[in-house]
Each structure stands twice: as structure tokens, then as C-alpha cells.
Copies of this chain bind each other. A is one copy, B any other.
Amino acid sequence: MTDLSAPGGKVRLFVEQPLGTGARVTPSAAQAHYLLHVMRARVGDHVGLFNGRDGEWLANIAEVTRRGCVLVCERQTQAQTQDDDLWLVFAPIKKTPADYLAQKATELGVSVLQPVITRRTIVQRVNGERLRANAIEAAEQSGRLSVPEIREPLELARLVRDWSKERHLLFCDEGSAPPMPDVLAKAPAGPWAVLTGPEGGFEEEERTLIRALSATVAASLGKRILRADTAALAALAIWQAQCGKG
């Protein structure tokens, strides 16, 4: 009997179903394939389960069928925790960097991934399913108890129009904004979002629109030219280090 949920060989699966003592959970076909054929798990082996609501549970493989398997929850190993309320608002980027961005942003604790369409956004279509699959994988592997929500893309004008003034918007500006650590040292508590532009940056008119929001806090990541996804990860890492729950 192998404890696949043990540290070192930890297998954690994100599922949609409710978790609780004795709850029976049917993993997806892909998860069952991973468990049974990649990890060579057998009846009686243990894995970790989480669904973003009920904490983490130790579950055993109770049945293996031709089509997959059934897991039964034994006991809760971690209570659900409240995530930081941190969104990442980003212009869609090419496939591979977007996969990576979704993974890294999940590790860095974002609660929502919000694609935004700007004038210089080259990639107009967003594969939400693919972003979600990447976010789930990162959550499973990084010990998170939740998966960030993937929102439908919004035009920038619409995003700005509907922006809640309660949510501080950390605008990674290429202009002469003060350095991000200085800005965040004085940052108010509450919900936040990090906003990064597309390759080529925002247009001047778009910058004016964003800066006009009362929730906007502009900050600079230095003189180096960072690719759009690098800027997003750098800003998230700095925000978490200074403002996150740790």
C-alpha cells in the first residue's frame, strides 16, 4: 500500500465534488489515467484531494473499474484557507507563455486570471480551458487548496468602466512611476489586482484611461525591458512578498 499523498511522492488531485468523511469521488478520465497508469496506483493507495471549498482530504482508492476508479475520503488533512484576494489582469499572449503564466500565477497565489484586450494585443482569442488546465496542474503540484478562476476576456475600455473602486489596481507602468517596492510599502489593505500590458505596451490613450481610475496605483519595475509575462510574474512576486499573507 503506497501513500501517494505523502511528502516527496505527493499526489494531489483537484476535483469538483464535495469532500467529507466517507465521500465517494470519481476522478476525471485524465486523472484516473494518471493515477492508475502513470503512478501505477492500486486499490488501497492514498492520494490527496481538494476542491477549493472543503480543505484537503486523504482519500483511498476504493475501486478500480474498466473506466477509471472511485476514491473515498478518509480524513481532512488541512482546513480550507482563505486565499489572498489578488487578480492578475493581463493581455493574452502566445500559447506557450500563456500556459506558463497561468501556472506561475497560480503558484504565486492569484485568485482570478482576467484576460484583457488592448489595442496592441495581438492574440485575440483565449483558450480558457487550456488556461484552466494549466492552473489546475499548478495548484495540484504546489499545495494550493484552490484553483484561480479564469474569466472571459474583456476589452480594456469595458474593464475600466466596470472597475470596482474598492479593488486597488497595481498598474505596471513603463513611464516614470515610482519603484514598485516603494509604492507597495505604503499600499492600503484590501482586494488588489496586478495589471500588465501586451507586448509593445499600452497606447498613450489607454495609459491615460487606466491612470484616471481612482483605484489605480502606478508602479515601475525598473528600466529593464521585461516581456509581458515576465513583468506579470515579477509584479506578483513582489506583491506577494510585501503584501501577501505569506
Contact, CB under 8 Å: A246 / B223: yes
Which chain B residues border A8 with CB–CB below 8 Å? 200
Q: Which of A15-23, A148-156, A189-197, A232-240 participates in binding chain B?
A: A232-240
Which chain B residues border A181 with CB–CB below 8 Å? 181, 241-242
The distance in angstroms between the C-alpha atoms of A143 and B107, with both chains bound, is 28
- Mark A219-246 against chain B: 1 for CB-CB distance below 8 A, else 0: 0111111110010011101101110111
The distance in angstroms between the C-alpha atoms of A227 and B100, with both chains bound, is 12
In this assembly, does A88 line the interface, its C-beta being within 8 Å of a C-beta of chain B?
no
In this assembly, does A109 line the interface, its C-beta being within 8 Å of a C-beta of chain B?
yes
In this assembly, does A175 line the interface, its C-beta being within 8 Å of a C-beta of chain B?
no
Which chain B residues border A222 with CB–CB below 8 Å? 240-241, 244, 246
In this assembly, does A76 line the interface, its C-beta being within 8 Å of a C-beta of chain B?
no
Contact, CB under 8 Å: B233 / A179: no
Contact, CB under 8 Å: A241 / B226: no
A199 — nearest CB in chain B belongs to which residue? B141
In this assembly, does A216 line the interface, its C-beta being within 8 Å of a C-beta of chain B?
no
Contact, CB under 8 Å: B244 / A108: no
Which chain B residues border A107 with CB–CB below 8 Å? 224-227, 230
Size bracket of the A interface: 20 to 34
In this assembly, does A121 line the interface, its C-beta being within 8 Å of a C-beta of chain B?
no
The distance in angstroms between the C-alpha atoms of A108 and B109, with both chains bound, is 21
In this assembly, does A49 line the interface, its C-beta being within 8 Å of a C-beta of chain B?
no
The distance in angstroms between the C-alpha atoms of A143 and B230, with both chains bound, is 14
Which chain B residues border A180 with CB–CB below 8 Å? 241
The distance in angstroms between the C-alpha atoms of A156 and B244, with both chains bound, is 32
Contact, CB under 8 Å: B221 / A141: no
Contact partner of A240 (CB less than 8 A), chosen from B200, B224, B242, is B224
In this assembly, does A142 line the interface, its C-beta being within 8 Å of a C-beta of chain B?
yes
The distance in angstroms between the C-alpha atoms of A180 and B107, with both chains bound, is 17
Contact, CB under 8 Å: A225 / B108: no
Which residues of A95-119 have CB atoms within 8 Å of chain B's CB atoms? 100, 104, 107-109
The distance in angstroms between the C-alpha atoms of A169 and B187, with both chains bound, is 29
Which residues of A8-37 have CB atoms within 8 Å of chain B's CB atoms? 8
Task: Report the 10 A-B pairs with minimum CB-CB distance, sorted nearest first.
Answer: A234-B237, A143-B225, A222-B246, A237-B237, A142-B225, A181-B241, A107-B230, A223-B246, A238-B241, A107-B226
Given contact pairs A222-B240, A224-B240, enumerate 4 new A-B contacts (beta carbons under 8 Å).
A104-B230, A181-B242, A235-B237, A238-B241
